[in-house]
Structure 1
Amino acid sequence: MDAFVFPGQGSQYQGMGKDLSENFKIAQLVYEEANDSLGFDIKALCFSGPEDALKLTANTQPAILATSIAALRVLQAETNLSPSFVAGHSLGEYSALVAAGALTFADALRIVRKRGTYMQEAVPFGVGAMAAILGVEGDAIVELCEQAAADEVVAPANFNSPGQIVIAGHTAAVKRAIELAKERGAKRAMLLPVSAPFHSILMAPAAQRLLPELNLITVSPLTCPVITNVEALPNDDESKVIELLVKQVCAPVRWDESILKMKDLGVTRYIEIGPGKVLSGLIKRIDRAATLKNIGDVPSLEKIQGSSDI
């Protein structure tokens, strides 16, 4: 049983999707649609940068989404693969919803562009931060954050894999949590180069601004279940999609639980679709028996096509 998984922010790199677009008309058409939907040249940004512009959250999110859907369309055109489940890490959940037919590509692009803008504007630059904590498990992280918070906010933001958790909140509180984690034997505890405390309650203003935008779009019936970040459970009810996307802005990404749920449901192979292979690394630590493949460029597609099990 296969699952398609889609990366989130942090997977972007200059040149992503370029060779797919140069070699497959269907990928080229995806970028052309993205340019038309957004009203600016997202294709040029993906292919040529500059890096500083690509790293801006309002640009990063539609860029990764466009590249992920370009890779998806090529995979669908060149193989007979189809998923039993789809899932995405944070922003990647929008790509998953496009793959499941719940959102149109054009609607998803416009929403994630606004999502990125609202998330960036929710907290003034420097007020919030995120940190990766390696070697401390979930319950201990929660307790550690509670002790570090004082009268500020710091809490788990991404449960990525066993022993790899990202926290988010006010900068001073995050730094206190880093020091506590080091005192308690964390393998590593470090600030991340991000511009806002994503997936924390500090993102509430962004969630409030996003809701009316989401209410303007049509959500169609899903062709397969999406394992959602908020619940780490399969959702095939289109009436729940908007609510879950709004909650996702402030809620932690339960990626480890999502993979374990798909394993319980019978998934044995994961195909990461989009730029980079970050999710493949996480999945390998969660389910060591899983078969992992990815498509983000022509060489990775050729590896899939050359596999004996395809």
Structure 2
Amino acid sequence: MGKIAFLFPGQGSQAVGMGVDLVETEAACKEIFTRADKRLGYSLSEIMANGPEEKLRRTEHTQPALVTMSVAVLELLKEANISPDYVAGHSLGEYSALVAARALSFEDAVYAVRNRGLFMEEAVPFGEGAMAAVLGMTVEALEEVCKEVQSQGHVAELANLNCPGQIVISGSSEGVSLASELAKEKGAKRVIPLQVSGPFHSSLMKPAADKLAAILDELTISDASIPVISNVAAKEQTNADEIKAKLVEQVYSPVRWEETIRTLLDQGVDTFIEVGSGNVLTGLVKKVNRRSQAFAVNDRESLHKVIEKLEGVTE
């Protein structure tokens, strides 16, 4: 049998009401939500359950909310005795992956990402930064576009290398706007501005990274018990110091997601389980390799489907 990787979603996968059914029916999941509220000192679970959406979309709430949802679903997988050979998370999802790999406690993860969200908000005043998804263009061609915009004194950088033909750019509002136009001129199929509060994974986030480093210094980061594929290097890591260094770099570096999935495929992973809210990563896996099995687990029903599939494979 092939190997299993757990994947953990990042910002954009949140939805008001996520996890409500888990809190009502699963004691272990309810405990995770309670622990998040306690560590943060406010009712994150209330915002997750009832919104309003603008409040949940504020990155200092979105980030801990997604980690809480992922770790609650992780409890279900543990109860079902499904464990991964590798873990990876998209951007802030890397913190959920580190909880799964026992490199970071759940409490420390929600505390870290709540602060990460606040620091990212503070780094660039609202409206001064932007991100856009560019479809149907190669990495090399889009890199040339960004260089051209940078030569005019604006910030435009590759932020998320998600899958073939889907790359997100990030930078100043002006830079992303110019790069978007230029990308269209040079053959991009579509350019979609993203509804985000800042230019994540760009050099404009360096101030946030410096502040995050100070927070991470307060926390205990251990060696990972399961290899974690890092966003920054798209290679496996288990060393605590390296994990910490990469979490700081990750704030202003591109998320190398397509390479992450290819690394996992090279390690013999043939089953990917997206753990938490939404199914964005499941779709990206399929775009990288159609033959892979990819499932999203976010409640008991979707968990049963995975159990049935896995039992079918093992028999």
TM-score by length of 2: 0.96
The match for 1:53 is 55
Return 139-148 or 155-164, whichever deviates more.
Answer: 139-148
The match for 1:113 is 114
Aligned length: 309
Correspondent of 1:269 among 261, 268, 271: 271
The match for 2:210 is 208
AA matched with 2:203: I
SS at 2:134's partner residue?
A: strand
The match for 1:146 is 147
The match for 2:94 is 93
AA matched with 2:139: G
AA matched with 1:88: G
The match for 2:200 is 198
Return 300-309 or 173-182, whichever deviates more.
Answer: 300-309
Return 265-274 or 178-187, whichever deviates more.
Answer: 178-187
Kindly indicate whether the alpha-carbon contact (under 8 Å) linking 1:19 and 1:298 is maintained by their aligned counterparts in 2. Answer: no
Once the 2 structures are TM-superposed, how far is the Cα of residue 297 of structure 1 from its aligned partner?
1.9
Structure 2: distance between partners of 1:48 and 1:116: 20
AA matched with 1:267: V
Report Cα offsets for 1:210-262 as digits up to 9, x if no partner. Answer: 11110111112211100000000000111211100000000000000000011
Report Cα offsets for 1:180-233 as digits up to 9, x if no partner. Answer: 111112111121111100000000110011111101111122111000000000
AA matched with 1:283: V
Structure 2: distance between partners of 1:271 and 1:302: 13
RMSD: 0.9
Once the 2 structures are TM-superposed, how far is the Cα of residue 36 of structure 1 from its aligned partner?
0.5
Structure 1: distance between partners of 2:241 and 2:174: 39
1:187 corresponds to 2:195: no
- Mapping 1:126-165, distance limit 5 Å: 126-149=127-150, 150-165=152-167
For structure 1, which runs of at least 5 residues remain unmatched after alignment?
Answer: none
Structure 2: distance between partners of 1:17 and 1:192: 25
Correspondent of 1:220 among 211, 219, 222: 222
Structure 1: distance between partners of 2:167 and 2:23: 35
Report Cα offsets for 1:260-302 as digits up to 9, x if no partner. Answer: 0110111000000000000000110001111011211232122
Structure 1: distance between partners of 2:5 and 2:162: 17
Once the 2 structures are TM-superposed, how far is the Cα of residue 309 of structure 1 from its aligned partner?
3.0
Kindly indicate whether the alpha-carbon contact (under 8 Å) linking 1:27 and 1:71 is maintained by their aligned counterparts in 2. Answer: yes
Kindly indicate whether the alpha-carbon contact (under 8 Å) linking 1:101 and 1:222 is maintained by their aligned counterparts in 2. Answer: yes
Determine what percentage of the aligned residue pairs are the same residue.
47
Runs of 4+ in 1 over 2 A off after TM superposition: 305-310
Structure 1: distance between partners of 2:261 and 2:306: 21
TM-score by length of 1: 0.98
The match for 2:126 is 125
Structure 1: distance between partners of 2:94 and 2:22: 22
Once the 2 structures are TM-superposed, how far is the Cα of residue 9 of structure 1 from its aligned partner?
0.3
Correspondent of 1:62 among 61, 64, 80: 64
SS at 2:31's partner residue?
A: helix
AA matched with 1:26: A
